[in-house]
């Protein structure tokens, strides 16, 4: 289930980026995929992969995470692109969004 969930979340991530007309660099996109992988692993460890409510929460929080980075790029004046340095700075101030952050 973890592999299917990861693929589903990556699809949601890409659609959310597209709907925001948001274009992170390759590095940033890799980091987003890494966050998704870490989130799925956290869910697996907590036996949440098969809990519908937790999957829905992970999907919703992923959308919020992408929106946060998109808005951050607007705040720093790089929108619709998020460059590598801006990603790293945004990650430091990112709010806790289970299972991706905090």
Specify the 3-state DSSP secondary structure of 92: helix
Which pLDDT belongs to residue 42?
96
Question: What is the token pair recorded at 41?
Answer: 């692993």
pLDDT exceeds 90 at position 65: yes
Cα distance between residue 67 and residue 97, in whole Å = 12
Residue 1: band (very low, low, confident or very high) from pLDDT cuts 50, 70, 90 = low
Cα distance between residue 73 and residue 50, in whole Å = 34
Cα distance between residue 48 and residue 71, in whole Å = 29
pLDDT in tens, 84-100: 889 999 999 999 999 99
DSSP for 57-68 reads HHHHHHHHHHHH
């Amino acid at each position: 289930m973890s592999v299917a969930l990861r693929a589903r979340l990556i699809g949601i991530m890409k659609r959310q980026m597209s709907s925001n007309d948001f274009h992170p660099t390759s590095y940033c996109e890799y980091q987003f995929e890494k966050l998704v992988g870490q989130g799925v692993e956290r869910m697996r460890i907590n036996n949440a992969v098969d809990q519908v409510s937790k999957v829905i929460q992970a999907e919703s929080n992923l959308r919020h995470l992408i929106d946060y980075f998109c808005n951050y790029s607007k705040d720093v004046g790089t929108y619709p692109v998020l460059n590598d340095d801006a990603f790293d700075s945004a990650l430091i101030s990112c709010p806790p969004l289970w299972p991706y952050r905090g």
